Amino acid sequence: MRRDVVVIGGSAGSHKPLAQALARLPADLAATVLVVLHVAPGGRFALADSLASSCALPVLAAADGARLEPGRVHVAVPDQHLLLDEGDLLRLSDGPRQNRVRPAVDALFRSAARWCGPRLIGVVLSGSLDDGSAGLAAIAAGGGLALVQDPAEARFPGMPTAALRVVPDATALPAIELGETIAELTGKPVTAEDRPSDPLIWETDMIAYGASKVLDRGVPAGLGCPECRGGMHVVRTGLAAHYVCHVGHSFSPQSLLAIRDDDVEGAMWTAVSSLQEKAMILDELMRQADTAGDPDAARAFRAESERAGRAAALLQEHVNRTMTPAARRGAGT
């Protein structure tokens, strides 16, 4: 058994470092390279073509059922998870989104960790939030090697920073050095690790097949899934944690926090709108009371309208001041 599979994941700002890393891979690389970048569902299959011009290896859009072959690069296509399956086969899946994206970095990393274990090298590139962290932790737990783009040079350092937080032994390198390092590390003999954990088997079954015979999903979290409202479990891998619902939707802590912040912001804007509408209706009642010659009722409606208007203004000011994109996402993402 040799180290012969490389999985690379990134999001915002990752195209350039990916191209730099691939450009340093030799034509006789003793490994298969699998790549997931977050792309829009309606995007075209152009990423493989754009990377091929600077890479000595064939760069292909991933195809369902393809077998791993050394010296090839397979790139995820829009709206399909790229997964590894038993027998070194690639699978494309429209299974549950992870961190609200498909393809997702963690989906590839965790499926590869299940089936390839110590044969793996995982690489996390530029991106926001913390997608890829749980997957890189699973790779490390299975005996694989972990690399990240140096956060200091990443356009969006959130993903590599989060990966280093949960896999502190990961090696951080400038993008231009990643390709040479990958080439040096591949082809080396490795020994088999223990059987993957039950939560890893359950989650990778769910995203690939939609069902699993494994019962252990992790520890009940007491949280509802933002996608389907089902109950979620927390899965811990080393220092990493992520949340998975009963159908397989998965969320990193930062992505789940961002979703909850969006929910809170939406609820607050709904409250602002309701208060403003309340004030408008009370103004109409005040006019009716004035016209009917009932000054006491008119004063009461006016006072209540003014209270609603002040509450709406204060709440709107609070939303504008605190619920900015930077505040929602946090520093360094």
Per residue in 123-162, pLDDT (tens digit) is 999 999 999 999 999 999 999 999 999 999 999 999 999 9
Residue 58: is the preceding peptide bond cis (ω within 30°)?
Answer: no
Question: Under DSSP, is residue 98 helix (H, G, I), strand (E, B) or coil?
Answer: strand
Residue 333: pLDDT above 80? no
Tokens in use for 314?
A: 């204060």
Residue 190 lies in a domain: no
Q: Mark which of 158, 185, 212 sits at the end of a domain.
A: 185
Distances from the Cα of 115 to the Cαs of 12, 87, 201, 227, 289, in angstroms? Answer: 28, 8, 10, 27, 75
Angle at 17 between CA 122 and CA 169, to 5 degrees: 35
Domain with 106, as residue range(s), is 5-185
**How high is the pLDDT of residue 54?**
85
Identify the weakest region by mean pLDDT among 39-43, 48-52, 257-261: 39-43
Same domain, yes or no: 14 and 145: yes
Tokens in use for 140?
A: 């490390």
pLDDT tens digit string along 183-229? 999 999 999 878 899 999 999 999 999 999 999 999 999 999 999 99
Task: Decide: pTM greater than 0.95.
Answer: no
Same domain, yes or no: 171 and 221: no
**How high is the pLDDT of residue 40?**
65
Residue 193 lies in a domain: no
For the packed helices 253-291 and 295-322, what is the interaxial angle rounded to 10 degrees? 160
**How high is the pLDDT of residue 64?**
97
Positive or negative: CA dihedral 311, 317, 321, 324: positive
Task: Write down the mean pLDDT value for the chain.
Answer: 92
β-partners of residue 250 are 98, 244
Q: How far is residue 68's CA from residue 34's CA, in Å, rounded to a whole number? A: 9
**How high is the pLDDT of residue 41?**
65
Residue 235: pLDDT above 70? yes
Same domain, yes or no: 236 and 276: no
**How high is the pLDDT of residue 204?**
96
Same domain, yes or no: 167 and 202: no
**How high is the pLDDT of residue 42?**
58
Residue 118: pLDDT above 60? yes
Residue 235 lies in a domain: yes
Tokens in use for 276?
A: 């403003």
Q: How many domains does the chain have?
A: 3
pLDDT tens digit string along 58-77? 999 999 999 999 999 999 99
Question: Under DSSP, is residue 196 helix (H, G, I), strand (E, B) or coil?
Answer: coil
Instruction: Cite the active site residues.
Output: 11, 38, 131
Same domain, yes or no: 261 and 247: no
Q: Which residue has the tokens 């591949």?
A: 186
Same domain, yes or no: 268 and 220: no
Angle at 239 between CA 127 and CA 248, to 5 degrees: 70
pLDDT tens digit string along 81-110? 999 999 999 999 999 999 999 999 999 999
Same domain, yes or no: 301 and 228: no
Contacts 24+ apart (CB under 8 A), 244-249: 244/199, 244/203, 244/206, 244/217, 244/218, 245/96, 246/217, 247/96, 247/206, 248/95, 248/96, 248/203, 248/206, 248/207, 248/210, 249/96, 249/97, 249/98, 249/225
Q: How far is residue 140's CA from residue 37's CA, in Å, rounded to a whole number? A: 21
β-partners of residue 263 are none
Confidence of residue 43 (pLDDT cuts 50, 70, 90): low
* Mean of pLDDT values over 276-305: 94
**How high is the pLDDT of residue 269?**
87
Q: How far is residue 40's CA from residue 101's CA, in Å, rounded to a whole number? A: 8
| Residues with Cβ within 8 Å of residue 140, at least 6 apart in sequence | 122, 146, 167, 169, 170, 238
More reliable by pLDDT, 1 or 33: 33
**How high is the pLDDT of residue 327?**
44
Residue 322: pLDDT above 80? no
**How high is the pLDDT of residue 44?**
54
Residue 329: pLDDT above 60? no
